[in-house]
Amino acid sequence: MTRFTLTHVIACDEATFWRLYLDSAVTRALIVEGLGFESCEIPLLRDEPTKLVRVTVARPRLELPDAVAKLLGPRLSYREEGTFDKERRVWEWTTELAVLSDKIQLGGSMRTEPAGPDRCRRIADLWVRAKIFALGGIVEKAAERNLRKGWQQSADWLNDALARGTLPRPADPPAPTPTAPASESSGSDTPPSYFA
């Protein structure tokens, strides 16, 4: 297993950061515009008393060694299930790939801390595990390289959007799906009341 920590300073306070991070419209814009992914959908966003649960399905564009690209295929997609603990203010997630999900697992946790007036530090502890004979280490290194690049791009995009005032408006509620019945949907992608 490969573990690493990524730290970035974001040009807003902690409450604003979490309000943005947990908003579906901002998430979609960050993933598609900021990271250049092919697609991003949020089939589930559920606000519970102690936590917020979100499922994101995305199709990234990755830079992979030939052996890894052949293993994963040309159009890799993934499903991320994350939970925001409202009391601890910690986001934890796991990522399931559309292929080889029994062989490759990814996940992590993210927290913030103050970094000066109207600034916060985003700290992400990530892990990658690839149980593939002869290729596990190569897959883990490729995943780490792509994750490091992506997290830096996300910080750059968010800081630029904050500076220019170009963040998207709150999105429409996510559409109900078989895995996210209407009764489970939060009913709105607007920031939950605990950010007040």
Alpha carbon 105 to chain centroid, angstroms:
15
- The Cα 148–Cα 144 span in angstroms is 6
| Sequence-separated (6 or more) residues with CB below 8 Å from residue 20 | 12, 26, 158, 167
pLDDT score, position 75: 63
pLDDT-based confidence at residue 184 (cuts at 50, 70, 90): very low
Per-residue pLDDT tens over the stretch 161-172 = 999 999 887 554
- All domains of the chain in start order, with CATH: 2-174 (3.30.530.20)
Taking 3-state DSSP, the helix, strand and coil percentages for the chain, each rounded to the nearest 5, stand at 30, 35, 35
Write down the pLDDT at residue 101: 77
pLDDT per residue as tens digits for the range 96-126:
988 777 888 999 999 999 999 999 999 999 9
Identify the residue with better confidence: 138 or 156: 156
Query: Token pair for residue 173?
Result: 């509620």
Residue 106 and residue 77: Cα distance in Å, rounded?
13
pLDDT category of residue 177 using cuts at 50, 70 and 90: very low
pLDDT at 185: 41
